[in-house]
Amino acid sequence: MAERHGMYIGGRYVGGKDYFDDTDPATGDVIARFPLGSAKDVGMAVDAARDSLRSWSQTPPPARGRILYRIAELLRKDKDRLSRVLSTEMGKVLPEASGDVQEAIDIFEYMAGEGRRLYGHTTTSELRDKFAMTIRIPVGVVGLITPWNFPIAIPAWKIAPALICGNTVVIKPSSDTPLCVYELMRIIEKAGVPEGVVNMVSGQASVVGEAIVRHPHIEGLSFTGSKTTGEWIIKNAGFKKVGMELGGKNPILVMDDADLELAVDGIIWGAFGTTGQRCTAASRVIAQKGIKEKLLAALIKRTKKLRLGKGTDPKTDVGPLINKAALEKTESYVKIGKDEGARLACGGKRLAGPGFFHEPTILDRVDPDMRIAREEIFGPVLSIIEAGSLDEMIDIANGTEYGLSSSIYTRDINMAFKAIERIQAGITYINASTIGAETHLPFGGVKGTGHTREAGIHGIDEFSDIKTVYIDHSGKLQRAQIDVDD
């Protein structure tokens, strides 16, 4: 019988009336059980966060930073165990699971350092004997709704800046990966984060997630997930500060002069790393005519060698999809692609037996207007599109509703800079894949991806408000725009 775990509310672990199973996507085995939280549980979590807000927000930011450093150190000490927990629960291979935990370490370290800065700015006034500046203030109680594909890293990307800015937190983890966030709560508690500052409520998005979005005393929201859900949040959040990252349909442009072997390495990593379950996954390759056939042959050869299996097996290259719905969605898009006229170059089938495994798949002769070239699949499916000039390739790259990450492989610096300037994306890589964000740099996109920037100093922007301060030491009434010397 799998162990029952509780929600974390007000510094206590709280059970529930009903529980749901947390399963290993490689085997279907139940590895833990978590409460089906309710709107009442969300209310209790918000009350705890509100009760702790004044004390936490008045704690000096460097003191908050020292606690974040302790969280990072505890994560580092427990990295190997947490990596195995993550690999078992989410399915990604061990090296990637370890990288997920390392991202959490990095972001807590980075944001701890921001406690010594949290910059505002000073400027001149238009009036005599008057001082002007800005300062950062907390948003208040923030609600975080996180996905399953980076089940420790993404919660950390949101919790760390929220805390350093003086906010208190209510987080809802994905029901596919609550154990990873539960483990993070234990570390946060051990590091000395006061009771009520961080709270976790598990359960259904339609219940817990909706209660967080609609709660009148949650002042800020941060969401990573689907565009459809993001649109619903925008319509229902009210006057909250809302940040969201909503996916991508990320292109890799391969020019005729590209280093073929390097491009293949990057495409395989971008398309099939994390089983294609990244918002930055390389789901489209736009290849120039002169290199396309050589590139395709090399990709097929490498893809056929990838080994599927349980993520904790060191021999595994590609793990399972997260659940049955994800497997069925991947299957359906392969069929859609073939029905639209694409050619199946390799893969294309689910694996028999337990677990949610699908072969890494390449579809050739893809037209830019096909659904597989425009819609986010979130599985191990790569579309190959042939094009002529760089202008045509950039137009194809921009021909989706998303704009998260992008890449170009070329030895021509002029082409590289043209791609940087014209590709509609929040991130562009030169001679590297579309995945691999670093925590001290901003992460986010444009268009249907949303306009949030997480990590780096821009992560501070997401979880703080700016207050403008005027200090008039003239000893008399001065009126801006009226009492100005000509």
Catalytic residues, by residue number, are: 245, 279
Alpha-carbon distance of 95 to 81, in angstroms, equals 13
The single residue listed with the structure tokens 């859900």 is 229
User: How big is the CA angle at 281 (ends 279 and 286), to the nearest 5 degrees?
Assistant: 130
Per-residue tokens: 365: 């002769």
Structure tokens at 19: 């529980």
Cα–Cα distance list, 435 to 150, 169, 177, 440 (Å): 13, 28, 21, 15
Q: Cα–Cα distance between 43 and 178 in angstroms, integer?
A: 19
Q: How far apart are the first and last CA of the chain?
A: 81
How many Cβ atoms are within 10 Å of 418's Cβ, its own excluded? 16
Q: At what angle do helices 153-164 and 61-77 cross, to 10 degrees?
A: 160
Instruction: Compute the distance between CA of residue 330 and CA of residue 147 in angstroms, rounded to an integer.
Output: 18
Alpha helices in 203-312, H assignment, sequence order: 210-214, 227-236, 260-272, 289-304
How many whole angstroms separate alpha carbon 287 and alpha carbon 429?
16
What six digits make up the tokens of 356?
A: 């949610």
How do strand 381-387 and strand 361-364 relate by DSSP bridges?
parallel
Number of other CB atoms surrounding residue 484 within 10 Å: 11
Amino acid at 46: V
Structure-block tokens of residue 236: 């229902």
Tokens of 322: 């997260």
Which residue, among 197, 196, 188, 194, has the nearest Cα to 73 in the 3D structure? Answer: 188
Residues 6+ apart with CB under 8 A from 158: 144, 146, 171, 222, 454, 463
Closest CA to 454 of 138, 154, 215, 70: 154
What is the Cα–Cα distance from 136 to 120, expressed in whole angstroms?
Answer: 6
Q: Could you say which DSSP state residue 367 is in?
A: -
